[in-house]
Amino acid sequence: MTSNTFGRLFRVTTFGESHGEAMGCVIDGCPAGLELSASDIEKELVRRRPGKVYGSRDEKDTPEILSGVFEGKTLGSPISILVRNTNQKSGDYDELKTIYRPGHADFTWEAKYGFRDHRGGGRSSGRETLCRVAAGAVAKKLLILSNITIRAWSSSIAGIQMPSHGEDGFDFEEIENNLLRVPCKAGAEKVLSKVEELRSEGNSAGGTISCLITGVNAGLGEPVFDKLDARLAAAMLSIGACKGIEFGAGFSAANLKGSENNALPDSSGGILGGISTGQDIFFTAAFKPTPSISKPQKAFDREGNIRDIEIKGRHDVCIVPRVVPVVEAMAALALADFLLLSRSARV
Amino acid sequence: MTSNTFGRLFRVTTFGESHGEAMGCVIDGCPAGLELSASDIEKELVRRRPGKVYGSRDEKDTPEILSGVFEGKTLGSPISILVRNTNQKSGDYDELKTIYRPGHADFTWEAKYGFRDHRGGGRSSGRETLCRVAAGAVAKKLLILSNITIRAWSSSIAGIQMPSHGEDGFDFEEIENNLLRVPCKAGAEKVLSKVEELRSEGNSAGGTISCLITGVNAGLGEPVFDKLDARLAAAMLSIGACKGIEFGAGFSAANLKGSENNALPDSSGGILGGISTGQDIFFTAAFKPTPSISKPQKAFDREGNIRDIEIKGRHDVCIVPRVVPVVEAMAALALADFLLLSRSARV
Amino acid sequence: MTSNTFGRLFRVTTFGESHGEAMGCVIDGCPAGLELSASDIEKELVRRRPGKVYGSRDEKDTPEILSGVFEGKTLGSPISILVRNTNQKSGDYDELKTIYRPGHADFTWEAKYGFRDHRGGGRSSGRETLCRVAAGAVAKKLLILSNITIRAWSSSIAGIQMPSHGEDGFDFEEIENNLLRVPCKAGAEKVLSKVEELRSEGNSAGGTISCLITGVNAGLGEPVFDKLDARLAAAMLSIGACKGIEFGAGFSAANLKGSENNALPDSSGGILGGISTGQDIFFTAAFKPTPSISKPQKAFDREGNIRDIEIKGRHDVCIVPRVVPVVEAMAALALADFLLLSRSARV
Amino acid sequence: MTSNTFGRLFRVTTFGESHGEAMGCVIDGCPAGLELSASDIEKELVRRRPGKVYGSRDEKDTPEILSGVFEGKTLGSPISILVRNTNQKSGDYDELKTIYRPGHADFTWEAKYGFRDHRGGGRSSGRETLCRVAAGAVAKKLLILSNITIRAWSSSIAGIQMPSHGEDGFDFEEIENNLLRVPCKAGAEKVLSKVEELRSEGNSAGGTISCLITGVNAGLGEPVFDKLDARLAAAMLSIGACKGIEFGAGFSAANLKGSENNALPDSSGGILGGISTGQDIFFTAAFKPTPSISKPQKAFDREGNIRDIEIKGRHDVCIVPRVVPVVEAMAALALADFLLLSRSARV
């Protein structure tokens, strides 16, 4: 992890500001001989696009593969993927030039670099995750060759908890069938009604995303600092709105006796000592509600004054479902990298 | 983060197996001119040693600085620190050669590397954290020059929750005055009695550790993948028993409305968009109970048979208080590195 | 240096195949606040384009900055630069699909990755250096703020040696005034006539490039492996046709007595122990003649047969003058990186 | 290459000042299951020790493996190797505290870090190469499993050129039979007499070292920046006294016509486009004469005055033969790393 690069052998560098010319990424280290086309990437990008209910902005993102693929296969050279920004009405953001939106990175970014691209968050915009999803699509294709699958879903939204994986009511098929990506038809209706209520009051909702990874053989992960869970944690916390992560029994394990925790089959989340056990890998990450709400708010400006702010434009009421493919993508990038690293474990 | 190295500019590489010759670390990239002596390191190592109640093993760890320091100051060259292992009764562990202790990394390590040092967990032993504390002591000395302080404490043990920082009953002075490192005198007694109960039944306890970092100016952290919280999360999850982490309002933020979360002063935990806001940084990490318990357990052996196992030796009933300085050390390593990285943010 | 990335803090990742969609680079870690425009980059790219005498192919390369620059200044976020490939007559290369051109990377690339983009060398084409020159233009702008200048020239071509820097006949002004970038008007004519002779016989010429760097303060470079000269050497040898490099007195120093070498003012080339002395930095690199010649040659094919090959298209008779800006660019990238690294040398 | 670390997957970090407590290294990323003992390392260290004629100081260096090896095999965890410094008469160096020896890194080191360990060069001492040889011994053991062998020799000393590999008079067996490590019995006598002459006048000699690597399959190396020759060049230039390197035909290739160079069988030195061709790899590096000579010299002091200096102690008249195992070690480290990297080239 070096600023805008993720991974050691399967390395992804992303670039692009929300309202600049383009978003993109360069994948260096993807093995040669992997079948890959722009449609593989577009398929995942579509999953990140907003739908009708939980979101609002429409972004048609057409990826172009500029290098690294020849006659349908990866060359071993850097794969660069480009998506042009089309929706660049910068004028909408003029007011934000000197004011820092609450809960956003406006102030911190300016504190670090001395100035910032204020249009839609610039580089700190959620739009940046588009590049992760694009790169994750490539990683997923690599992982599937080793029978590794990654599935994430909204496990709670606005405090409404969905059934857990393995519990009654949980249905994998349902996830991509509802706009909120909850794994339960009944739950979907309940959440939808809650989200609509928040929308009508100009508010937003947070939630949690759970992720289940199957097919990982025992032995993946790099002790001691680059543990599988350490890297997955970094991967998730690198997503703007993420505020926490837990593996297996997670925070509840802290309350258990040793004998109880040892006996719990899924307590470890498929990772012990930072290395995969061969069981399913499971974690849950928490995402705060979108700070961009249409309700009027107070905000600081560059001179330190408190000012009234109304964030214009159409914003997602709940970004959680759109983050689901981002979680999958980041998990895929981490695993693809560990998969390549694992080739060097033994003589 | 590359296996046994942490950091990009302030880089720490640790080495050593629990029952091998020695533990140690090499710190490369520490700026020249920092006052440093072995006693600076020993002072922190003492905090990691077991006390009378919550622990049991006694390890006298005397650090030796082998390089990188001249006439009391760092040279800019690698600082290597060595601690000899003295307590190496390997015979105690013969039984574990072919059996995998539940909840430990015995099986996963062997799955990765083909064989393992079975004596006391080898490289996956908690003893490895000694090197982190040693390196963290150096990082702390660097941070104090910028008025950055890091304090951690046991915020809950065995499910008994302590008052939060800022709440009634919370007392910073109390933390290092009780063996459990809880921030509350009354709480200390309650937890102590619970831990003694677990000890008597041959069991163990987990808990959570909270960490407060003060003095960090706005602008620390490296977007987009190497966010301040992303790296701190990786740092904490790289500690063996850690199962989760949350920043600021953490998991509870997922249940709030956007307007509520924006209005909550400490919701962000001092980090927005992966960059420090200039406010205190706050996070809490969850640690599972020590899997080494004296109660008899079932375990798999190399042939896949289930066998009875009784883990011998004297083990910590609750490692949480001993992990407190490790949490501080890892936070210090992350911050020292970001501090150096921040020098390159602007022309 | 990780495959397609150069630098630790000022990191450049390049991508693109000669006859693919585009060439480009991403610069991550450039400090915020640097004035930068596409014309800064184009100005350097023009220097890399072939002229009338020594080259032949005409490539109009128009760079586009896609990200990282806002209102004329760098943001601190990744700067991505794109140049579309326009001259993509792939058909010219059909014959090369199963045959390996002598002296090129056709065979080795295929040996490594299992297959290759055979069109014009694909990723191993000299066209890849375009991205280095683009990134180097940014590095140069950063360096000039510290008064560091980098000038390279053809110090010999086809065995004809030019006067050395400081010697009679050497003229800095002449370098960019002749097509061969030699630092001497009389020498230019001599070399030109030799090159024309080689062209007429369907042959090619190699040469050496010398580089003088002024304005570097004492103290730049990172001991012990990442020495200033070690990195510059890697930078130069990463250019396809480079076969050697020497610093200061170089190979001739090996023949001197200690007392002679110590007394020689420029023997060190401005670097001692891998760190700049504050004097001018000076090195010379050797470049082999272009292996693409129009004379018929023998070559191996995929089945191991020796076949007759005539390389079509119009190729540079001597690439040395075109490599001059590449040498400057790579030196600039190395120095910009060390400049940022040097900010962490002291507390 | 990050300051004191070399390699991406097979990573070596060295530490230690010449007159500090100890020298050592940590090898992280060595695959598990490699047979290794301290005697493997000592065997190589002995080759680096001075003999009777060409050197003078006697250093008995006993390596201790502190971690990473269990029951005679590497564990996959960091291998740390320690050699205590025994010859620490610091008093010899008091005069050098405020004076900068000509041709040494005394001044540059101080310019960078603000102060330095002046005893025997501190970290910039040739003694640092001991750690490289120790680590190289491990790399060699890994390489031999792939039938890769590395042999270096003094190809010229004090301007006296030895026969080249393949030429009449060249004899591999002779290299380790004479104190100067020249590959020719007659040549050894000639050089010995020249070196004795230089010794008697209180002077020193430089030379060149050639290195032949056999058994490398086609396909090793990482385009575009981390080319096999680029990394080998960096590896060699990272050795203190190295002033240049050339591969295959090297500088002489710059004078050839394309048709001549393409036809020359060994012109490429076994590397094309930065990737091994499968032929023997061959390079030659230039080393300046030791700047420590017993003849009186002029030197700058901290106040900028020119002073007379006589360097005390017994110094090598010609360090070239002692650098031969260092060259082999660095080549071994580079190759071991590329060997591991090559495992990720294809799906």
| Contact predicate D327/D211, CB 8 Å | yes
Q: How far is D71 from chain C (nearest CA, A)?
A: 32
H helices within B184-237, ranges in order?
A: 185-200, 228-237
User: Is D59 or A118 the better-scoring residue by pLDDT?
Assistant: A118
- Is residue C295 very low, low, confident or very high in pLDDT (cuts 50, 70, 90)? confident
| Contact predicate A288/B254, CB 8 Å | yes
Which letter does DSSP use for residue D21 in this model?
Answer: S
**Helix, coil or strand: residue A54:** coil
Contacting residues for A265 by C-beta, under 8 A, at least 6 apart: none
Q: How far is D33 from chain A (nearest CA, A)?
A: 6
Whether residue B346 lies within 8 A of chain C, CB to CB, comes out as yes
For all residues of chain D together, what is the average pLDDT?
Answer: 93
Which letter does DSSP use for residue A249 in this model?
Answer: T
Give the per-residue pLDDT at C55. 46
Q: How far is A6 from chain D (nearest CA, A)?
A: 15
Whether residue A142 lies within 8 A of chain D, CB to CB, comes out as yes
Give the per-residue pLDDT at D59. 56
| CA dist B148 → A50, B217, B280, C60 (Å) | 42, 9, 10, 53
Rounded Cα distance, D7 and C144, in Å = 32
Q: Which residue of A has its CA nearest to D76?
A: A345
Q: Which two tokens stand for residue B230?
A: 């992303």
**Helix, coil or strand: residue A251:** helix
Whether the per-residue pLDDT at B92 is higher than 80: the answer is no
Cα–Cα nearest to B136, from B10, B17, B283: B10
Q: How far is B33 from chain C (nearest CA, A)?
A: 6
Please answer yes or no on whether C33 and A114 come within 8 Å at the CB atom: yes
* CB–CB contacts below 8 A, A to D: 46
Contacting residues for C12 by C-beta, under 8 A, at least 6 apart: C5, C6, C25, C26, C27, C28, C131, C132, C135, C333
pLDDT digits (tens, 9 = 90+) for B169-212: 999 999 999 999 999 999 999 999 999 999 999 999 999 999 99
Please answer yes or no on whether A238 and B274 come within 8 Å at the CB atom: yes
Sequence letter at residue A87: N
Instruction: Point out which residues pair with D79 in neighbouring strands.
Output: D27
Which region among A164-168, C255-259, D253-257, D312-316 has the lowest average model confidence (pLDDT)? D312-316
Q: Which helix (H) or strand (E) holds C70?
A: strand C69-70
* CB–CB contacts below 8 A, A to C: 150
- Is residue B229 very low, low, confident or very high in pLDDT (cuts 50, 70, 90)? very high
Mean pLDDT value across residues A6-15: 98
Cα–Cα nearest to C19, from C83, C77, C87: C87
CA A47 to chain centre: 12
Please report, for the domain that includes residue A205, its CATH number: 3.60.150.10
Whether residue D296 lies within 8 A of chain C, CB to CB, comes out as no
The pLDDT > 90 percentage for chain B reads 85
Read out DSSP for D237-276? HTSTTEEEEEETTGGGGGGSBHHHHHH-TTTTTTEETTEE
Range of the domain at B200: 5-342
How many residues are there in chain B?
347
Q: How far is B70 from chain C (nearest CA, A)?
A: 15
Whether residue D313 lies within 8 A of chain A, CB to CB, comes out as no
φ, ψ for residue B124, nearest 5 deg: -85, 5
Whether residue D159 lies within 8 A of chain C, CB to CB, comes out as yes
Whether residue D346 lies within 8 A of chain A, CB to CB, comes out as yes
Q: Which two tokens stand for residue D68?
A: 């990473």
Contacts of C117 in chain A (CB under 8 A): 70, 75
**Helix, coil or strand: residue D343:** helix
- Is residue D275 very low, low, confident or very high in pLDDT (cuts 50, 70, 90)? very high
- Measure CA of the first residue to CA of the last residue in chain B; give whole Å: 27
Give the per-residue pLDDT at B56. 47
- Is residue B338 very low, low, confident or very high in pLDDT (cuts 50, 70, 90)? very high
- Tally helices (H) and strands (E) across chain A: 7, 17
Give the per-residue pLDDT at C51. 62
Whether residue C77 lies within 8 A of chain B, CB to CB, comes out as yes
Residue D347, in any domain of the structure: no
| Contact predicate C221/C227, CB 8 Å | yes
Rounded Cα distance, B235 and B230, in Å = 9
Give the per-residue pLDDT at A8. 97
Q: Strand D160-161 vs strand C160-161: parallel, antiparallel, or unpaired?
A: unpaired
Please answer yes or no on whether A32 and C115 come within 8 Å at the CB atom: yes
CA D73 to chain centre: 26
Give the per-residue pLDDT at A60. 78
Whether residue D224 lies within 8 A of chain C, CB to CB, comes out as yes
Rounded Cα distance, A132 and A127, in Å = 10
Residue D52, in any domain of the structure: yes
Q: Strand C242-247 vs strand D242-247: parallel, antiparallel, or unpaired?
A: antiparallel
CA D182 to chain centre: 16
Whether the per-residue pLDDT at B55 is higher than 70: the answer is no
User: Is A217 or C87 the better-scoring residue by pLDDT?
Assistant: A217
Give the per-residue pLDDT at A55. 46
Domain total for chain A?
Answer: 1
Give the per-residue pLDDT at A319. 94
CA D121 to chain centre: 17
Mean pLDDT value across residues B233-254: 97
Which region among D3-17, D51-65, D138-152, D277-291 has the lowest average model confidence (pLDDT)? D51-65
Extract the runs of DSSP E, i.e. beta strands, from chain A.
5-6, 11-15, 22-28, 64-67, 69-70, 73-74, 79-84, 99-100, 149-157, 160-161, 207-214, 242-247, 271-272, 275-276, 281-287, 297-301, 306-309
Extract the runs of DSSP E, i.e. beta strands, from D124-206.
149-157, 160-161
Residue B347, in any domain of the structure: no
Whether residue B198 lies within 8 A of chain A, CB to CB, comes out as yes
Whether the per-residue pLDDT at D106 is higher than 50: the answer is yes
**Helix, coil or strand: residue B316:** coil
- Location of structure tokens 């831990």: B195
Mean pLDDT value across residues D55-73: 84
Rounded Cα distance, A21 and A48, in Å = 20
Task: Report the sign of the C-alpha dihedral through residues B188, B193, B197, B200, in that order.
Answer: positive
Whether the per-residue pLDDT at B256 is higher than 80: the answer is yes
Mean pLDDT value across residues C257-278: 94
Rg (C-alpha) for chain A, rounded Å, is 20
**Helix, coil or strand: residue A243:** strand
Best of B18, B34, B66, B73 to substitute, by most chain D Cβ atoms within 10 angstroms, is B66
pLDDT digits (tens, 9 = 90+) for C40-66: 999 999 998 876 444 445 557 999 999
Give the per-residue pLDDT at A287. 98
Contacts of A222 in chain D (CB under 8 A): none
The pLDDT > 70 percentage for chain A reads 95
Residue B301, in any domain of the structure: yes
Whether the per-residue pLDDT at A62 is higher than 60: the answer is yes
Q: How far is C341 from chain B (nearest CA, A)?
A: 8
Rounded Cα distance, A3 and C7, in Å = 13
Give the per-residue pLDDT at A59. 56
Please answer yes or no on whether B145 and C31 come within 8 Å at the CB atom: no
Give the per-residue pLDDT at D315. 78
Half-sphere exposure of D345 (CA within 13 A, CB side): 22
Whether residue D135 lies within 8 A of chain B, CB to CB, comes out as no
Cα–Cα nearest to C59, from C95, C96, C18, C91: C18
Cα–Cα nearest to B109, from B120, B99, B124: B124
Confirm whether the ipTM is greater than 0.95: yes
Please answer yes or no on whether A13 and C78 come within 8 Å at the CB atom: yes
Instruction: Point out which residues pair with D81 in neighbouring strands.
Output: D25, D65
Mean pLDDT value across residues B285-299: 92
Give the per-residue pLDDT at B87. 67
Question: Could you write out the three-class secondary structure of B54-122?
Answer: CCCCCCCCCCEEEECEECCEECCCCEEEEEECCCCCHHHHHHHHCEECCCCCHHHHHHHHCCCCCHHHH
- Is residue A58 very low, low, confident or very high in pLDDT (cuts 50, 70, 90)? low
Best of C26, C344, C346 to substitute, by most chain B Cβ atoms within 10 angstroms, is C344
Instruction: Point out which residues pair with B100 in neighbouring strands.
Output: B300
Contacts of B262 in chain A (CB under 8 A): 102-103, 291, 293, 297
Residue B116, in any domain of the structure: yes
Whether residue A80 lies within 8 A of chain C, CB to CB, comes out as yes
- Location of structure tokens 């579309």: C84
Sequence letter at residue B115: F
Whether residue C32 lies within 8 A of chain B, CB to CB, comes out as yes
Mean pLDDT value across residues C9-23: 97
**Helix, coil or strand: residue B175:** helix
